[in-house]
Chain A
Amino acid sequence: MTSKLTHKRILAMILVIIIGFSGGIFIKTMLRVGEGEDVDITAIRQANEALLEEKERYDALQAQNADLEDRKRILLRRFEDYEDTGGILAELRENAWLSGMTDVEGKGIVLTLDDKLDYDPLVDPIESVIHDSTVNYVVNLLWSGGARAVSFNGVRLTSVSEISCVGPVILCYGIRQMPPYVLEAIGPVDAMRDVLEKDSYLAHLTQSKIGIRFSVNTEEQMLLPSFSRTHDILPYINLLREP
Protein backbone atom coordinates (compact mmCIF):
# COMPACT_ATOMS: atom_id res chain seq x y z
CA MET A 1 0.00 0.00 0.00
CA THR A 2 2.83 2.37 0.99
CA SER A 3 4.78 1.40 -2.13
CA LYS A 4 1.77 2.11 -4.35
CA LEU A 5 1.39 5.51 -2.69
CA THR A 6 5.08 6.31 -3.25
CA HIS A 7 4.81 5.39 -6.94
CA LYS A 8 1.83 7.64 -7.30
CA ARG A 9 3.74 10.49 -5.64
CA ILE A 10 6.74 10.02 -7.94
CA LEU A 11 4.46 9.94 -10.97
CA ALA A 12 2.71 13.03 -9.76
CA MET A 13 6.04 14.81 -9.26
CA ILE A 14 7.24 13.92 -12.76
CA LEU A 15 3.94 15.06 -14.20
CA VAL A 16 4.15 18.35 -12.34
CA ILE A 17 7.75 18.90 -13.51
CA ILE A 18 6.67 18.26 -17.10
CA ILE A 19 3.80 20.70 -16.65
CA GLY A 20 6.22 23.23 -15.18
CA PHE A 21 8.68 22.66 -18.01
CA SER A 22 6.00 23.11 -20.64
CA GLY A 23 4.73 26.14 -18.83
CA GLY A 24 8.25 27.58 -18.79
CA ILE A 25 8.67 27.14 -22.51
CA PHE A 26 5.23 28.57 -23.11
CA ILE A 27 5.91 31.63 -20.93
CA LYS A 28 9.35 32.13 -22.50
CA THR A 29 7.91 31.83 -25.99
CA MET A 30 5.15 34.27 -25.21
CA LEU A 31 7.62 36.74 -23.75
CA ARG A 32 10.11 36.52 -26.58
CA VAL A 33 8.02 35.98 -29.65
CA GLY A 34 7.48 39.72 -30.04
CA GLU A 35 11.22 40.30 -30.11
CA GLY A 36 11.70 37.63 -32.77
CA GLU A 37 14.42 35.88 -30.74
CA ASP A 38 13.15 32.35 -31.35
CA VAL A 39 12.97 33.02 -35.04
CA ASP A 40 16.55 34.35 -34.94
CA ILE A 41 17.89 31.38 -33.01
CA THR A 42 16.29 28.94 -35.41
CA ALA A 43 17.55 30.90 -38.40
CA ILE A 44 21.08 31.10 -36.97
CA ARG A 45 21.10 27.40 -36.22
CA GLN A 46 19.92 26.59 -39.73
CA ALA A 47 22.50 28.97 -41.19
CA ASN A 48 25.26 27.34 -39.13
CA GLU A 49 24.20 23.93 -40.42
CA ALA A 50 24.10 25.18 -44.00
CA LEU A 51 27.54 26.74 -43.60
CA LEU A 52 28.95 23.52 -42.22
CA GLU A 53 27.53 21.64 -45.21
CA GLU A 54 29.11 24.11 -47.64
CA LYS A 55 32.47 23.86 -45.84
CA GLU A 56 32.35 20.07 -45.99
CA ARG A 57 31.50 20.25 -49.69
CA TYR A 58 34.42 22.62 -50.26
CA ASP A 59 36.83 20.24 -48.51
CA ALA A 60 35.50 17.34 -50.58
CA LEU A 61 35.87 19.33 -53.82
CA GLN A 62 39.42 20.31 -52.91
CA ALA A 63 40.32 16.70 -52.22
CA GLN A 64 38.72 15.71 -55.53
CA ASN A 65 40.66 18.48 -57.30
CA ALA A 66 43.95 17.25 -55.83
CA ASP A 67 43.19 13.69 -57.01
CA LEU A 68 42.30 14.86 -60.50
CA GLU A 69 45.43 17.03 -60.80
CA ASP A 70 47.57 14.07 -59.70
CA ARG A 71 45.89 11.83 -62.25
CA LYS A 72 46.44 14.46 -64.92
CA ARG A 73 50.15 14.65 -64.14
CA ILE A 74 50.48 10.87 -64.37
CA LEU A 75 48.54 10.71 -67.64
CA LEU A 76 50.54 13.51 -69.25
CA ARG A 77 53.76 11.72 -68.32
CA ARG A 78 52.54 8.72 -70.30
CA PHE A 79 52.14 10.97 -73.35
CA GLU A 80 55.83 11.71 -73.19
CA ASP A 81 56.41 8.27 -74.70
CA TYR A 82 55.05 9.62 -77.96
CA GLU A 83 57.78 11.24 -79.97
CA ASP A 84 56.16 14.48 -81.11
CA THR A 85 54.19 15.36 -77.97
CA GLY A 86 57.29 15.97 -75.84
CA GLY A 87 57.67 19.56 -77.08
CA ILE A 88 53.97 20.33 -76.61
CA LEU A 89 54.06 18.99 -73.06
CA ALA A 90 57.12 21.06 -72.23
CA GLU A 91 55.32 24.13 -73.55
CA LEU A 92 52.18 23.21 -71.61
CA ARG A 93 54.21 23.01 -68.41
CA GLU A 94 55.91 26.34 -69.06
CA ASN A 95 52.59 28.04 -69.81
CA ALA A 96 51.03 26.52 -66.71
CA TRP A 97 53.96 27.82 -64.74
CA LEU A 98 53.79 31.34 -66.17
CA SER A 99 50.02 31.55 -65.76
CA GLY A 100 50.01 30.47 -62.12
CA MET A 101 48.33 27.17 -62.97
CA THR A 102 50.83 24.99 -61.16
CA ASP A 103 51.84 24.71 -57.51
CA VAL A 104 55.27 26.23 -56.93
CA GLU A 105 57.84 26.03 -54.15
CA GLY A 106 60.70 28.26 -53.15
CA LYS A 107 62.16 30.58 -50.55
CA GLY A 108 60.08 33.60 -49.74
CA ILE A 109 58.31 35.82 -47.26
CA VAL A 110 54.99 35.77 -45.45
CA LEU A 111 53.53 39.20 -44.93
CA THR A 112 50.58 39.90 -42.65
CA LEU A 113 48.44 43.02 -42.75
CA ASP A 114 45.74 43.79 -40.23
CA ASP A 115 43.51 46.70 -39.22
CA LYS A 116 44.39 48.86 -36.25
CA LEU A 117 43.63 47.07 -33.00
CA ASP A 118 40.21 48.17 -31.67
CA TYR A 119 39.63 50.38 -34.68
CA ASP A 120 37.07 53.08 -33.92
CA PRO A 121 35.61 54.76 -37.02
CA LEU A 122 34.68 57.81 -34.97
CA VAL A 123 38.21 58.42 -33.73
CA ASP A 124 40.71 56.68 -36.02
CA PRO A 125 41.59 57.80 -39.55
CA ILE A 126 40.21 55.81 -42.47
CA GLU A 127 43.73 54.59 -43.25
CA SER A 128 43.63 52.58 -40.02
CA VAL A 129 41.70 49.85 -41.80
CA ILE A 130 43.12 47.86 -44.67
CA HIS A 131 41.55 48.74 -48.02
CA ASP A 132 41.79 47.01 -51.40
CA SER A 133 44.10 49.84 -52.46
CA THR A 134 46.41 49.02 -49.52
CA VAL A 135 46.60 45.37 -50.55
CA ASN A 136 47.14 46.28 -54.22
CA TYR A 137 49.85 48.72 -53.15
CA VAL A 138 51.72 46.06 -51.18
CA VAL A 139 51.31 43.50 -53.99
CA ASN A 140 52.85 46.01 -56.41
CA LEU A 141 55.74 46.51 -53.97
CA LEU A 142 56.31 42.75 -53.89
CA TRP A 143 56.44 42.56 -57.70
CA SER A 144 58.81 45.55 -57.65
CA GLY A 145 61.00 43.64 -55.23
CA GLY A 146 61.24 40.78 -57.72
CA ALA A 147 58.56 38.40 -56.39
CA ARG A 148 58.04 35.50 -58.80
CA ALA A 149 54.76 34.21 -57.35
CA VAL A 150 52.33 35.70 -54.84
CA SER A 151 49.23 34.41 -53.10
CA PHE A 152 46.66 36.45 -51.20
CA ASN A 153 44.90 34.66 -48.34
CA GLY A 154 45.76 31.34 -49.98
CA VAL A 155 44.63 32.28 -53.50
CA ARG A 156 47.29 32.56 -56.19
CA LEU A 157 47.46 35.95 -57.88
CA THR A 158 47.50 35.87 -61.68
CA SER A 159 47.52 38.30 -64.58
CA VAL A 160 43.88 39.12 -63.83
CA SER A 161 44.11 39.42 -60.05
CA GLU A 162 40.87 40.99 -58.94
CA ILE A 163 41.38 42.62 -55.56
CA SER A 164 38.54 45.03 -55.00
CA CYS A 165 36.14 46.06 -52.26
CA VAL A 166 32.45 46.34 -51.58
CA GLY A 167 31.99 48.74 -48.70
CA PRO A 168 34.43 47.69 -45.97
CA VAL A 169 34.87 44.17 -47.35
CA ILE A 170 37.84 43.21 -49.53
CA LEU A 171 37.15 40.77 -52.33
CA CYS A 172 39.65 38.60 -54.19
CA TYR A 173 38.22 37.07 -57.37
CA GLY A 174 34.79 37.93 -56.00
CA ILE A 175 35.30 36.07 -52.70
CA ARG A 176 35.22 38.02 -49.43
CA GLN A 177 38.45 38.10 -47.51
CA MET A 178 38.73 38.67 -43.79
CA PRO A 179 41.63 40.19 -41.86
CA PRO A 180 44.38 39.41 -41.14
CA TYR A 181 45.34 39.54 -44.80
CA VAL A 182 48.22 37.23 -45.59
CA LEU A 183 50.40 37.71 -48.64
CA GLU A 184 52.89 34.96 -49.41
CA ALA A 185 55.60 35.70 -51.95
CA ILE A 186 58.32 33.52 -53.43
CA GLY A 187 61.28 35.46 -54.75
CA PRO A 188 64.49 37.18 -53.72
CA VAL A 189 63.93 37.56 -49.98
CA ASP A 190 66.43 40.34 -49.31
CA ALA A 191 65.22 42.46 -52.22
CA MET A 192 61.56 42.03 -51.27
CA ARG A 193 62.22 42.86 -47.61
CA ASP A 194 64.29 45.83 -48.64
CA VAL A 195 61.50 47.28 -50.80
CA LEU A 196 58.97 46.84 -47.99
CA GLU A 197 61.19 48.27 -45.28
CA LYS A 198 62.17 51.34 -47.28
CA ASP A 199 58.70 52.23 -48.48
CA SER A 200 57.56 55.55 -47.02
CA TYR A 201 53.81 54.89 -47.40
CA LEU A 202 54.06 51.59 -45.49
CA ALA A 203 56.10 53.36 -42.81
CA HIS A 204 53.31 55.96 -42.62
CA LEU A 205 50.60 53.31 -42.26
CA THR A 206 52.42 51.42 -39.52
CA GLN A 207 53.13 54.43 -37.30
CA SER A 208 51.19 54.37 -34.04
CA LYS A 209 48.78 57.14 -35.08
CA ILE A 210 47.50 55.04 -38.00
CA GLY A 211 48.19 51.70 -36.35
CA ILE A 212 48.09 49.24 -39.24
CA ARG A 213 49.54 45.98 -37.98
CA PHE A 214 52.20 44.65 -40.31
CA SER A 215 54.69 41.82 -40.05
CA VAL A 216 57.11 40.05 -42.39
CA ASN A 217 58.62 36.61 -41.86
CA THR A 218 61.08 34.73 -44.00
CA GLU A 219 60.34 31.14 -44.96
CA GLU A 220 63.13 28.89 -46.24
CA GLN A 221 60.70 26.78 -48.22
CA MET A 222 57.12 27.63 -48.96
CA LEU A 223 54.48 26.25 -51.27
CA LEU A 224 52.07 28.48 -53.17
CA PRO A 225 48.97 26.81 -54.59
CA SER A 226 48.05 26.78 -58.25
CA PHE A 227 45.17 29.09 -59.23
CA SER A 228 43.45 25.89 -60.38
CA ARG A 229 43.21 24.77 -56.74
CA THR A 230 40.53 27.36 -56.20
CA HIS A 231 39.22 28.56 -59.57
CA ASP A 232 38.44 27.59 -63.12
CA ILE A 233 40.23 29.81 -65.67
CA LEU A 234 37.61 29.73 -68.42
CA PRO A 235 35.51 32.62 -67.03
CA TYR A 236 38.70 34.73 -67.04
CA ILE A 237 39.62 34.19 -70.70
CA ASN A 238 36.28 33.80 -72.45
CA LEU A 239 36.35 37.33 -73.92
CA LEU A 240 39.81 37.02 -75.41
CA ARG A 241 40.03 36.47 -79.18
CA GLU A 242 43.23 35.94 -81.12
CA PRO A 243 43.85 38.70 -83.70
Chain B
Amino acid sequence: MKKKWIQYASILIVCVFVGLAIALLMKNLNLINVGDTSIQELQNQIIDYQKKNEDLNNRNTRLYEYLRELEEELASGRGESYLHIVEEKEQYALFAGLRAVKNAGVVITMTPLEGYQMQDAVVRQFVNELSALGAQAIAVNEERKVATTEIRTSQDMILVNGVSYDRTEPFEIKAIIDPGKIDSYVVPYLLSISDNIKKQLADDSLTIAIRKDENVLIPALNEDRIAYQMELLEPVE
Protein backbone atom coordinates (compact mmCIF):
# COMPACT_ATOMS: atom_id res chain seq x y z
CA MET B 1 0.00 0.00 0.00
CA LYS B 2 2.82 2.31 1.02
CA LYS B 3 4.66 1.48 -2.19
CA LYS B 4 1.57 2.40 -4.19
CA TRP B 5 1.37 5.82 -2.49
CA ILE B 6 5.05 6.42 -3.20
CA GLN B 7 4.33 5.60 -6.87
CA TYR B 8 1.36 8.05 -6.91
CA ALA B 9 3.41 10.74 -5.22
CA SER B 10 6.27 10.25 -7.69
CA ILE B 11 3.92 10.52 -10.66
CA LEU B 12 2.34 13.60 -9.12
CA ILE B 13 5.71 15.32 -8.65
CA VAL B 14 6.88 14.38 -12.16
CA CYS B 15 3.65 15.72 -13.67
CA VAL B 16 3.91 18.98 -11.75
CA PHE B 17 7.48 19.40 -13.02
CA VAL B 18 6.40 18.59 -16.60
CA GLY B 19 3.68 21.24 -16.32
CA LEU B 20 6.15 23.76 -14.94
CA ALA B 21 8.62 22.97 -17.71
CA ILE B 22 5.98 23.44 -20.43
CA ALA B 23 4.89 26.75 -18.90
CA LEU B 24 8.47 28.05 -18.72
CA LEU B 25 9.21 26.85 -22.25
CA MET B 26 6.17 28.69 -23.60
CA LYS B 27 7.27 31.84 -21.84
CA ASN B 28 10.71 31.64 -23.41
CA LEU B 29 9.19 31.02 -26.85
CA ASN B 30 7.11 34.15 -26.35
CA LEU B 31 10.26 36.11 -25.56
CA ILE B 32 11.95 34.82 -28.73
CA ASN B 33 8.92 35.60 -30.88
CA VAL B 34 8.78 39.28 -29.95
CA GLY B 35 12.34 39.68 -31.25
CA ASP B 36 15.04 42.02 -30.04
CA THR B 37 13.53 45.30 -31.27
CA SER B 38 12.87 47.70 -28.43
CA ILE B 39 9.41 49.08 -27.81
CA GLN B 40 10.75 52.59 -28.44
CA GLU B 41 12.13 51.59 -31.84
CA LEU B 42 8.87 49.92 -32.79
CA GLN B 43 6.88 52.97 -31.76
CA ASN B 44 9.17 55.18 -33.85
CA GLN B 45 8.65 52.92 -36.86
CA ILE B 46 4.88 53.04 -36.35
CA ILE B 47 4.98 56.85 -36.24
CA ASP B 48 7.08 56.90 -39.44
CA TYR B 49 4.61 54.68 -41.25
CA GLN B 50 1.65 56.65 -39.93
CA LYS B 51 3.18 59.83 -41.34
CA LYS B 52 3.98 58.18 -44.66
CA ASN B 53 0.44 56.81 -44.84
CA GLU B 54 -1.07 60.18 -44.04
CA ASP B 55 0.98 61.89 -46.79
CA LEU B 56 0.17 59.22 -49.34
CA ASN B 57 -3.48 59.12 -48.37
CA ASN B 58 -3.74 62.89 -48.86
CA ARG B 59 -2.07 62.57 -52.25
CA ASN B 60 -4.39 59.75 -53.30
CA THR B 61 -7.51 61.59 -52.10
CA ARG B 62 -6.60 64.66 -54.13
CA LEU B 63 -5.66 62.55 -57.13
CA TYR B 64 -8.95 60.67 -56.92
CA GLU B 65 -10.92 63.92 -56.83
CA TYR B 66 -8.91 65.27 -59.75
CA LEU B 67 -9.59 62.15 -61.84
CA ARG B 68 -13.28 62.28 -61.01
CA GLU B 69 -13.44 65.85 -62.30
CA LEU B 70 -11.54 64.92 -65.45
CA GLU B 71 -13.84 61.97 -66.09
CA GLU B 72 -16.98 64.05 -65.59
CA GLU B 73 -15.65 66.65 -67.95
CA LEU B 74 -14.72 64.13 -70.59
CA ALA B 75 -18.22 62.69 -70.36
CA SER B 76 -19.99 66.02 -70.62
CA GLY B 77 -17.85 68.12 -72.93
CA ARG B 78 -15.27 70.75 -71.98
CA GLY B 79 -14.72 73.56 -69.52
CA GLU B 80 -13.66 73.13 -65.93
CA SER B 81 -11.18 70.30 -66.43
CA TYR B 82 -9.13 72.47 -68.67
CA LEU B 83 -8.76 74.75 -65.65
CA HIS B 84 -7.89 71.79 -63.43
CA ILE B 85 -5.07 70.80 -65.76
CA VAL B 86 -3.80 74.40 -65.77
CA GLU B 87 -4.00 74.46 -61.97
CA GLU B 88 -1.99 71.27 -61.69
CA LYS B 89 0.55 72.55 -64.21
CA GLU B 90 0.99 75.72 -62.13
CA GLN B 91 1.38 73.75 -58.91
CA TYR B 92 4.21 71.77 -60.49
CA ALA B 93 5.76 74.99 -61.77
CA LEU B 94 5.69 76.48 -58.26
CA PHE B 95 7.15 73.32 -56.78
CA ALA B 96 9.90 73.17 -59.41
CA GLY B 97 10.88 76.81 -58.85
CA LEU B 98 9.76 77.94 -62.31
CA ARG B 99 7.65 80.85 -60.99
CA ALA B 100 8.64 83.91 -58.99
CA VAL B 101 7.06 83.78 -55.54
CA LYS B 102 6.66 86.04 -52.53
CA ASN B 103 5.66 85.89 -48.88
CA ALA B 104 7.10 86.45 -45.43
CA GLY B 105 10.52 84.96 -44.82
CA VAL B 106 14.10 85.58 -43.77
CA VAL B 107 17.09 87.22 -45.40
CA ILE B 108 20.64 86.22 -44.47
CA THR B 109 23.43 88.51 -45.60
CA MET B 110 27.02 87.33 -45.33
CA THR B 111 29.67 89.93 -45.96
CA PRO B 112 33.30 88.80 -46.19
CA LEU B 113 35.71 91.13 -44.42
CA GLU B 114 38.95 92.38 -45.95
CA GLY B 115 41.05 89.49 -47.25
CA TYR B 116 38.52 86.75 -46.54
CA GLN B 117 36.96 84.61 -49.26
CA MET B 118 33.54 83.16 -48.69
CA GLN B 119 33.44 79.36 -48.31
CA ASP B 120 30.87 77.33 -50.21
CA ALA B 121 30.36 75.18 -47.09
CA VAL B 122 29.04 78.21 -45.18
CA VAL B 123 26.53 79.05 -47.92
CA ARG B 124 25.51 75.41 -48.15
CA GLN B 125 25.06 75.12 -44.42
CA PHE B 126 22.57 77.98 -44.29
CA VAL B 127 20.74 76.66 -47.36
CA ASN B 128 20.51 73.17 -45.84
CA GLU B 129 19.35 74.54 -42.49
CA LEU B 130 16.66 76.60 -44.22
CA SER B 131 15.50 73.52 -46.15
CA ALA B 132 15.38 71.55 -42.92
CA LEU B 133 13.37 74.34 -41.30
CA GLY B 134 10.73 73.90 -44.02
CA ALA B 135 11.58 76.77 -46.37
CA GLN B 136 9.40 76.45 -49.48
CA ALA B 137 11.53 78.66 -51.73
CA ILE B 138 15.18 79.68 -51.42
CA ALA B 139 17.40 81.93 -53.50
CA VAL B 140 21.14 82.55 -53.24
CA ASN B 141 22.13 85.88 -54.75
CA GLU B 142 18.84 85.96 -56.67
CA GLU B 143 19.53 82.49 -58.05
CA ARG B 144 16.60 80.19 -57.32
CA LYS B 145 17.48 76.97 -55.54
CA VAL B 146 15.92 74.04 -57.39
CA ALA B 147 16.40 70.26 -57.17
CA THR B 148 19.58 70.27 -59.24
CA THR B 149 21.20 73.33 -57.65
CA GLU B 150 24.85 72.86 -56.75
CA ILE B 151 26.79 75.30 -54.57
CA ARG B 152 30.52 74.85 -54.96
CA THR B 153 33.75 76.75 -54.98
CA SER B 154 35.71 77.10 -58.17
CA GLN B 155 38.90 79.06 -57.43
CA ASP B 156 37.87 82.65 -56.60
CA MET B 157 34.23 82.04 -57.38
CA ILE B 158 31.29 80.18 -55.91
CA LEU B 159 29.05 78.57 -58.49
CA VAL B 160 25.30 78.45 -57.95
CA ASN B 161 23.30 76.82 -60.76
CA GLY B 162 26.46 77.24 -62.84
CA VAL B 163 26.53 81.03 -62.29
CA SER B 164 29.76 82.44 -60.78
CA TYR B 165 29.81 84.77 -57.78
CA ASP B 166 32.92 86.50 -56.48
CA ARG B 167 33.92 85.06 -53.09
CA THR B 168 34.94 88.46 -51.77
CA GLU B 169 31.49 89.97 -52.40
CA PRO B 170 28.49 89.71 -50.05
CA PHE B 171 26.22 86.70 -50.40
CA GLU B 172 22.50 87.02 -49.74
CA ILE B 173 20.23 84.06 -49.06
CA LYS B 174 16.48 84.61 -49.06
CA ALA B 175 13.86 82.09 -48.03
CA ILE B 176 10.09 81.91 -47.72
CA ILE B 177 9.21 80.09 -44.55
CA ASP B 178 6.25 79.58 -42.22
CA PRO B 179 5.53 83.12 -40.85
CA GLY B 180 4.29 81.66 -37.57
CA LYS B 181 7.74 80.25 -36.78
CA ILE B 182 10.02 83.05 -37.99
CA ASP B 183 10.25 85.10 -34.79
CA SER B 184 9.80 82.30 -32.31
CA TYR B 185 12.10 79.71 -33.82
CA VAL B 186 13.66 80.32 -37.23
CA VAL B 187 15.58 83.54 -36.55
CA PRO B 188 16.89 82.46 -33.10
CA TYR B 189 17.96 79.11 -34.56
CA LEU B 190 19.73 80.73 -37.53
CA LEU B 191 21.47 83.13 -35.13
CA SER B 192 22.81 80.15 -33.18
CA ILE B 193 24.07 78.63 -36.44
CA SER B 194 25.66 81.96 -37.29
CA ASP B 195 27.42 82.07 -33.90
CA ASN B 196 28.75 78.53 -34.43
CA ILE B 197 30.08 79.43 -37.87
CA LYS B 198 31.78 82.56 -36.52
CA LYS B 199 33.38 80.53 -33.75
CA GLN B 200 34.79 78.09 -36.30
CA LEU B 201 36.12 80.87 -38.51
CA ALA B 202 38.51 83.63 -37.49
CA ASP B 203 36.87 86.72 -35.97
CA ASP B 204 37.85 88.91 -38.89
CA SER B 205 36.31 86.60 -41.52
CA LEU B 206 32.81 87.74 -42.22
CA THR B 207 29.73 89.40 -40.79
CA ILE B 208 26.40 87.63 -40.84
CA ALA B 209 23.12 89.52 -40.62
CA ILE B 210 19.82 87.69 -40.26
CA ARG B 211 16.50 89.49 -40.48
CA LYS B 212 12.85 88.79 -40.96
CA ASP B 213 11.25 90.25 -44.07
CA GLU B 214 7.47 90.43 -44.54
CA ASN B 215 7.83 90.57 -48.31
CA VAL B 216 10.54 88.27 -49.52
CA LEU B 217 10.52 88.02 -53.31
CA ILE B 218 12.19 84.94 -54.76
CA PRO B 219 12.82 84.92 -58.51
CA ALA B 220 11.97 82.09 -60.85
CA LEU B 221 14.66 79.82 -62.19
CA ASN B 222 16.18 81.32 -65.29
CA GLU B 223 15.34 79.28 -68.38
CA ASP B 224 18.93 78.96 -69.54
CA ARG B 225 19.99 77.09 -66.37
CA ILE B 226 21.17 73.50 -66.40
CA ALA B 227 18.03 72.32 -64.59
CA TYR B 228 16.14 72.70 -67.86
CA GLN B 229 18.47 70.27 -69.60
CA MET B 230 16.70 66.95 -69.25
CA GLU B 231 18.34 65.07 -72.09
CA LEU B 232 19.66 62.28 -69.85
CA LEU B 233 16.24 61.52 -68.40
CA GLU B 234 13.43 59.57 -69.98
CA PRO B 235 9.99 60.02 -68.45
CA VAL B 236 8.26 56.71 -67.72
CA GLU B 237 5.02 56.55 -69.71
B56 within 8 A of A: yes
Q: Is the CB of A236 within 8 A of B51?
A: no
Q: A75-B74, A102-B235 known; A51 and B91 CB under 8 Å?
A: no
B168 within 8 A of A: no
Interface of A is mostly: helix
- CA of A71 to CA of B82 in the docked complex: distance in angstroms? 17
B12, B46, B64, B99: most-surrounded residue (chain A CB, <10 A): B46
Interface of B is mostly: helix
- CA of A140 to CA of B160 in the docked complex: distance in angstroms? 11
Our pick among A19, A44, A231 for the contact of B59 (Cβ within 8 Å) is: A231
Tally chain B residues at the interface, Cβ within 8 Å: 98
Q: A16-B12, A21-B22 known; A58 and B56 CB under 8 Å?
A: yes
B207 within 8 A of A: no
Q: Is the CB of B233 within 8 A of A242?
A: no
Interface digits, B60-104 against A, CB 8 Å rule (1 contact, 0 not)? 101110110011001000100110011011011111111111110
B155 within 8 A of A: no
Within 8 A of A (CB), among B120-147: 124-125, 128, 131-132, 134-137, 145-147
Interface residues of A (CB under 8 A from B): 13, 16-25, 27-28, 40-41, 43-45, 47-48, 50-51, 54-55, 57-58, 61-62, 64-65, 68-69, 71-73, 75-76, 78-79, 82, 85, 88-89, 91-93, 95-107, 132-133, 136-137, 140, 143-144, 146-150, 157-164, 174-176, 186-188, 223, 228, 230-234, 236-243
